[in-house]
Chains A and B, each alone.
Chain A
Amino acid sequence: MDIKFEGEHLLPGSLGQFFIILSFGSALLAAISYYFASVKDLPDNSWRNLGRIATWVNALAVIGIGSCLFYIIYNHLFEYHYAWAHSSKSLPTHYIISSFWEGQEGSFWLWMFWQSLLANILVWKAKSWENSVLAIVMLSQVFLASMLLGVEIVGTRIGSSPFILLRDAIQAPIFSRPDYLSLVADGNGLNPLLQNYWMVIHPPTLFLGFASMIVPFAYAIAGLWEKRFKDWTAVALPWALFAVMILGAGIIMGSFWAYEALNFGGFWAWDPVENASIIPWLTLIAAVHVILAYRHSGHSYFTATFLTLISFVLVLYASFLTRSGILGETSVHSFTDLGMFGHLIAYIGVFVVLTVGFLVARWKEMPITKKDEETYSREFWLFVGAIVLALSCGQIMYTTSGPVINAILGTKIAPPIDVIAHYNKWQVPFAVVIALISGFTQFLKYKNTDPKKFFSSIIITLIISILLTAAFVFIAKVYSNLMYIVLTFAGFFSLVCNGKILIEAFKGKWKLAGSSVAHMGFALLVVGALVAAATNNVISLNRTGVGYGEEFAKENNPKENIMLYENEPVSMDKYTVTYLGDSIVGPNTFYLVNYKVIDNGKVKENFTLYPNAQQNAKMRSIVASPDTRHYLLNDIYTHVSSVPLQQKSNGHQQEIDEQQNSDDAYDTPSASMVSPGDTVKYRNGYILVKGVNRNAKIEKIELAPGDLAIGLDLEVHNNSGKVYSAQPLYLIKGGNVFDFGKAIDEEGLKLRFSKIDPQQGKLELTVLQKKPAEKKWIVMKAIKFPYINLYWGGSIIMVIGFLLSIFRRNKEVKTA
């Protein structure tokens, strides 16, 4: 049965699918061509030229895929599952970019894009390394392209295409209707948490970091393959530093996004997805250090090669963890399985085989020294530092891999109850050792150092560091735990040692600047993270004492959320906090929370934070994002935890209309006997009885003789000086009594002329007042993060240090 569907745009999808096949084919061709170019020593460059053409075509195909997908999302072509699942019509353009890589397919494309860009740079720059290095890079590109194929081969679907149609992706009866598309009103939209500007820039940076790790890997393999054992270390070094810098920046951006946009109250939570990105980063940093040790001393060749190779394998492992759905129960934000489980394992498998195969095949020829390093030598401590980094990485990996171990062994071990404490227990000592080594190694020379000279030069820095540590520990109040003090000391020691080198760099030894700046950044980062994590405190403590039994309070933390009513100031820490109201911008509701510091009646500080929440009427839930007041030395971080849910706007209107017809919406009426000139009070002012209109007329009602229609002339004065006039009517017709009340909606009033008392000559005025609108409220949490700027500042300094090192090492390659 063939149905002719109306309104579908099939061209961009078919074109996109064509580009996917083309990118796969060209990557395969490039890998094969470069392989033959490497192994066959032909006088002409025919294989190499073919490889180049295929690499260029591959780049065009990848750009083609991206353009088609962007066209589909940008034009809201919801006949495509990807556009329907990840975007909606109301999404602003810059978030359309984020919705592009919200899904797995889009993020694979991003990776492919960077990898093809790097491949083209290598075609241009790699010179004698081109053939072997590109054979490896394009092999990786083959795997990435295959992830997007979405083609059935022998009954199993290979990859998942972003160009699959909605009606093919989902089975539903409406897809048998030719006009189904007119019924699909809008897409699902982008997850509100990802609608943040950091989400526009964080994924591309992270994926550039992941993608660039293929380059040192490819150089290491090429070095083993072509037996250019020493050469590859020089050319791979700037690339490894580049990968470390970009991936580091990407991780920090993710951390900043979590801090600014998520409300889990911190910058690092040891979530498996975060861990997955840091694992390869640690091993590649270790690799950079042992490559240096090898280049200067000839030691540690195997360690350098192995760490370089394993880093990329771990990138693949990290992708497997986050993309296969295996983390399911342990992580909040991993992807769901797209049926790529086996496919991802195959990708890892091939690169593990390459790694192990080449290491085993070249084992005997590798320049491995039999002699031990000298204890007082720089290379020895570079090696030890790298080992500590690798161990730190191993610990993170082991705990994160819990679900993988469960899947392999069939066990059912749950992650630690207190994940953060578990990781900190291990990572704090590792950080101490790494910071110390990164400090004193600066005073050691390659090959050998005179111990006396070493100790005499280090003693001054040691004393300075101890004094600084003591002062800082006292000011930042981190003396509660011995380990904190030790870590602070390690950080300051590294800072002082590397600071000394930096001063020498300023005196003219410029090439030393890179590493010392990076080390100082790392030291600041560690100290900042420690202080912010160890001494952050929730300041929104609930002191109202509303509780649920002493039993509960005994075992639980003081309650950490406070309730704020509109315009009712509450005292919190040194602040007086007032919820001032809210304003709605697009899908977000911003809650205005005013902070004041009042000292002796004087307002010393006054600022307003705008934590926001996206209301989702359909789901009756909110997604909250924090707002933070940044000071130089600490941050006040605030987010709403609970707010009253808004009604859908049209539904709300209807509700009001209905209520106006009955008196239900009003409080119990209050009647009073009045004469002209009297006043009656109501909640927001008073009502003045001006007089009686004996000749009142009522539309459409004819008055017969004997009937009576009387109006009561009223003036309503509210407290802010506004005046309204109203004339409720009293009618006697055919012996029956009617009254026609008047409503003043602005004041929430309804006035009735309900009775005439002829004996006393008094009139009865009944006043109905709307129930007071429910007072607005929010439930809010506020956390103080001290010294968090050391963490961010340290990260930025570290990235700058990497950048300086890249310049230096790149220059060495050129001059060598």
Chain B
Amino acid sequence: MKKSSIIGIIIIAIAIGVIISTYADSSTYGTFADAQKTEDELHVVGKLDKGKELIYNPKHDANYFAFYMHDNKGKECKVVFNGTKPQDFERSEQIVLTGKMVGEEFHASKILMKCPSKYNKNEVEVQGAGASEVKI
């Protein structure tokens, strides 16, 4: 057999390996209801419930942060994160959690948020006569 064919076969084998491994390692996007059914970690996309309080008291425990989130189906669940409160968390528009359900709480190992923050939101802050601060 020619060497080039051997190399070709090895390349194809590795490529298949990459595809399979990516597929095996990848997780799924789900809801809190899905999370309750499985033992595995998965991604849950949702929005922060801004009406409920964020529980973070660094003086008591700097590594406990809890909040309430609605998933995309509207189901609400308490989320516990083993770490400090991420910056700008209150302003997040969308949150992607990685983690799993433990009892009635969702224990997140990673939080990724989409933050409009002030840097790309089209919101002009106006200062002027009469009103001290007007948001439009």
Which residues does A use to contact B, with CB under 8 Å? Answer: 84-85, 166, 169-170, 172-174, 182-186, 188-189, 191, 328-329, 332, 336, 372-373, 375, 380, 384, 387, 391, 394-395, 398-399, 402, 412-418, 422, 425-426, 542, 546-548, 551-552, 555-557, 559-563, 618-624, 641-642, 777, 779, 781
Contacts and interface: CB of A to CB of B under 8 A. Distances in A.
B66 to A, nearest CB: 9
Interface string B35-55: 000000111010000000000
Contacts of A375: 3
B118 A398 contact: no
A622 B87 contact: yes
7 contacts: A184-B124, A412-B28, A415-B27, A426-B18, A559-B82, A618-B118, A620-B90
Interface string B86-113: 0111110000101000110001011010
Contacts of A624: 87
Contact of A182 (B3, B22, B118, B128): B128
B55 to A, nearest CB: 10
Contact of A416 (B7, B25, B90, B119): B25
A391 B14 contact: yes
A565 to B, nearest CB: 9
A561 B3 CA distance: 55
B114 to A, nearest CB: 7
A191 B88 CA distance: 12
Contacts of B82: 552, 556-557, 559
B18 A398 contact: yes
Given A414-B42, A426-B18, 16 more contacts: A169-B122, A172-B136, A183-B128, A185-B125, A185-B127, A372-B2, A412-B29, A414-B27, A414-B28, A417-B25, A555-B107, A559-B82, A623-B87, A642-B62, A642-B85, A779-B62
Contacts of B63: 542, 559-561
B87 A561 contact: no
A416 B19 CA distance: 13
Given A399-B22, A414-B29, A191 B119 contact: yes
Contact of A621 (B58, B88, B112): B88
Contacts of B103: 551
Contact of B21 (A425, A557, A623): A425
Most chain A beta-carbon contacts within 10 A, residue among B15, B56, B62: B62
Interface string B11-35: 1001100110111011111000000
A387 B7 contact: yes
Contacts of A85: 119-120
Contacts of B128: 182-183
A777 B119 CA distance: 29
B78 to A, nearest CB: 12
A384 B6 CA distance: 11
Contacts of A621: 87-91
A426 B21 contact: yes
Contacts of A622: 87
Contact of B61 (A184, A336, A546): A546
A789 B42 CA distance: 36
Contacts of B88: 619, 621, 623
B61 A552 contact: no
Given A329-B112, A563-B62, A621-B89, A188 B107 contact: no
B16 to A, nearest CB: 11
A563 B90 contact: no
B19 A398 contact: yes
Contacts of A166: 124
Contacts of B67: none
Contacts of A184: 124, 126
B126 A546 contact: no
A387 B122 CA distance: 47
Contact of B62 (A186, A373, A561): A561
Contacts, number: 151
Given A185-B127, A551-B102, A391 B15 contact: yes
Contact of A394 (B4, B18, B56): B18
Nearest to A405: B22
Contacts of B84: 561, 641-642, 779, 781
A555 B102 CA distance: 10
Contacts of B83: 560-561, 641
Contact of A417 (B27, B90, B119): B27
Given A183-B127, A413-B28, A642 B107 contact: no
B62 A542 contact: yes
A95 to B, nearest CB: 14
A-B CB proximity, top 6 nearest: A641-B84, A416-B25, A559-B63, A779-B62, A414-B43, A183-B128
Contact of A413 (B4, B26, B58, B96): B26
B107 A183 contact: no
Contacts of A777: 58-59
A182 B88 CA distance: 29
B94 to A, nearest CB: 8
B87 to A, nearest CB: 5
B79 interface: no
A677 B90 CA distance: 58
B3 to A, nearest CB: 5
A619 B117 contact: yes
B62 A188 contact: no
Contacts of B43: 414
A166 to B, nearest CB: 7
Contacts of B15: 391, 394
Contacts of B59: 563, 777
B119 A548 contact: no
A174 B129 CA distance: 13
Contact of B118 (A188, A394, A546): A188
Contacts of A561: 62-63, 83-84
Contacts of A373: 3
A186 B128 CA distance: 12
A307 to B, nearest CB: 14
Max chain B Cβ within 10 angstroms of own Cβ: one of A184, A188, A546, A781: A188
A620 B88 CA distance: 8
A189 B114 CA distance: 19
Nearest to B64: A548
A426 B102 CA distance: 32
Contacts of B87: 621-624
B22 A422 contact: yes
A376 B34 CA distance: 56
Interface in B54-80: 56, 58-64, 80
**Residue of B27, B59, B85, B107 with highest tally of chain A CB at under 10 A:** B59
The winner among B45, B82, B127 for most chain A CB atoms within 10 A is B82
A422 B21 contact: yes
A552 B124 contact: no
Given A336-B120, A425-B21, A557-B82, A372 B62 contact: no
Contact of B22 (A329, A398, A620): A398
A417 B125 contact: no
Nearest to B17: A426
Nearest to A190: B119
B11 A170 contact: no
A436 B118 CA distance: 49
Contacts of B21: 422, 425-426
B26 A414 contact: yes
B115 to A, nearest CB: 9
B28 to A, nearest CB: 6
Given A372-B4, A395-B18, A642-B84, A416 B62 contact: no
Contacts of B125: 185-186
Nearest to B99: A417
A426 B20 CA distance: 12
**Residue of A184, A641, A777, A781 with most partner-chain B CB within 10 A:** A641
A173 B136 contact: yes
A373 B109 CA distance: 51
Contacts of B109: 417
Contacts of A426: 18, 21
A183 B42 contact: no
